[in-house]
Amino acid sequence: MNPCDDCALRRLEAFLPASPEELKTIQSFRVGARRVEAGGSIIEEHRPSTQLFTLYSGWAFRYKTLTDGRRQILSFLLPGDFIGLQDEFAEGQTHGVEAVTDVSLCAFSRDRLWPLFHAQPKLGYDITWLAAREEKMVDDNLVTAGRRNAGERVAMLLMHLYRRADRVGMVRDGWVEFPFNQQHIADALGLSLVHTNKTLRRLQRLGLHKLDAGWLRILEPHALEELGDYFERPLRPVPLI
């Protein structure tokens, strides 16, 4: 395991700096590293997890399924995202987490969460802030599913994921790896697979974006933002646990 003070993510401007004392506390909270192959389960939906995770590399998503197998993707996860905290404050398991690409994660013991809050109250606040940020994104997704039409939903999702990926250094020459198939998009946006396919093709014919062999390029960001009614302020640096 790389020590926390040598973490490559901490060199990115996307994340707030941590003091040497905070890094020591995070290091003591950490219990290992884990790799999960694409399609593998990071947290199983109906089984308790003794660990929390920070996604170090790759793409993943949180989801819930109904008894008939229909799935709702709750949020997409990128490097730096803290995973599994919701179950700490819920009765039972609230969601599952699946890797879309091969991923690597830092693992933390759930049992050490309260001692971390006690030892470093600022880190406790940071974790609370991350939970509130996740809630805000879920609120945005609810507005999307409840009020945006299909074109607006897809435009908003493409811009949202592209901006988040760009923020953590995943964009290269205007392109970002986009490993999601149309079923992922449909499950995230509450659309049928047919409607998702038609909407993606329509936006691409308009020259707003390009999807090519699992890579995404935004060609007209302002047009996509206007179509999706998506005018977020610049993304602020966030804590990294």
Same domain as 202, residue 91: no
Could you read off the pLDDT of 123-143 as tens digits, one per residue?
Answer: 999 999 998 888 888 888 889
Percent of the chain as helix, strand, coil, to the nearest 5: 45, 25, 30
Q: Is residue 167 part of a domain?
A: yes
Per-residue DSSP letter, 169 = T
User: In whole numbers, what is the pLDDT of the chain averaged over residues?
Assistant: 92
Same domain as 171, residue 131: no
Q: Is residue 234 part of a domain?
A: no
Distance, CA of 76 to CA of 65 (rounded, Å): 16
> Is the model more confident about 45 or about 158?
158
Cβ atoms < 10 Å from Cβ of 7: 19
Model-level pTM?
0.92
**Who's near 5: CB < 8 A, 6+ residues apart?**
20, 23, 27
Cβ density class 129-146: b for 16+ within 10 Å, e for less: ebeeebeeeeeebeebee
Least Cα distance to 238 among 13, 71, 61 occurs for 13
Same domain as 123, residue 14: yes
The pLDDT value recorded for residue 50 is 87
The pLDDT value recorded for residue 168 is 95
Q: Is residue 239 part of a domain?
A: no
Mean pLDDT across 53-61: 97
The pLDDT value recorded for residue 162 is 96
Cβ atoms < 10 Å from Cβ of 46: 8
Q: Which domain holds residue 99?
A: 4-135
Q: Is residue 31 part of a domain?
A: yes
Same domain as 71, residue 46: yes
Percent of the chain with pLDDT over 70: 97
Residue with tokens 């390029």: 217
Phi, psi of 33 (to 5 degrees): -125, 160
* Number of alpha carbons in the 13 Å side-chain half-sphere of residue 45: 15
| 118-121: Cβ within 8 A, 24+ apart | 119/25, 120/21, 120/22, 120/25
Q: pLDDT-based confidence at 75, cuts 50/70/90? A: very high
Question: Amino acid identity, residue 3?
Answer: P
